A and B are shown apart, each in its own frame.
Chain A
């Protein structure tokens, strides 16, 4: 099992569809993250969950809705997306102890195309 697994690897959806991205970590970490990676741009932090509580919401539009049912699983629910939301969505996990972060471990991402 790889450390952080994301499914699906590729997703094409219309603007009126509803879909979900899934992430699972097998590293025993206590924090999980969603990042968006667009061409020629730095990785953009979207959400942070620490001990299953959302601790960061980086001004992300409401058409993106995260869910963290336990410390090993993270979802990103998508609805009524726009073409500019097409990007690589990366999930990551880490262990936070007294505010210090272990290195983030990333999954291989979901390549999302909105038509």
Chain B
């Protein structure tokens, strides 16, 4: 069964304190791994797609990496506005395009 597990469940950082979020996955035939950001009261907002092991993508203070079993979202020198819930999702071999999501990591960055 396809499965996505994110850790930690919650993370508190001081402004400027770099850290990483983990997304472990089990899927038969990965077609893509997606990272989203979700703010309270809003829908998830797309950040990155990774397709193959070794791939990396960056956007401002965020960098996503992918191996055959997990993905990391590295946050460098975070700011309070980076506070949000970060969701990881995988697309398996299904042709319907459905995504399987993890439960998310809630990040709080204190000034």
Contact = CB atoms under 8 A, between A and B. Distances in A.
Interface of A: 4, 6, 31, 33, 40-43, 45, 48, 50, 55-56, 90, 92, 94, 96, 99-101, 103-109
Contact of B104 (A6, A42, A90, A109): A42
Given A45-B100, A104-B34, 6 more contacts: A42-B101, A43-B87, A48-B97, A99-B31, A100-B32, A101-B97
A75 to B, nearest CB: 17
Q: Top 3 closest A-B pairs, CB basis?
A: A106-B43, A101-B97, A99-B95
Nearest to A106: B43
B22 interface: no
Secondary structure type dominating chain A contacts: strand
Contact of B41 (A31, A56, A103, A108): A108
Nearest to A6: B43
19 contacts: A6-B43, A31-B97, A41-B103, A42-B101, A42-B103, A43-B101, A50-B97, A90-B43, A90-B44, A99-B31, A100-B97, A101-B97, A101-B99, A103-B46, A106-B45, A108-B41, A108-B42, A109-B42, A109-B43
A15 B103 CA distance: 28
Nearest to A111: B41
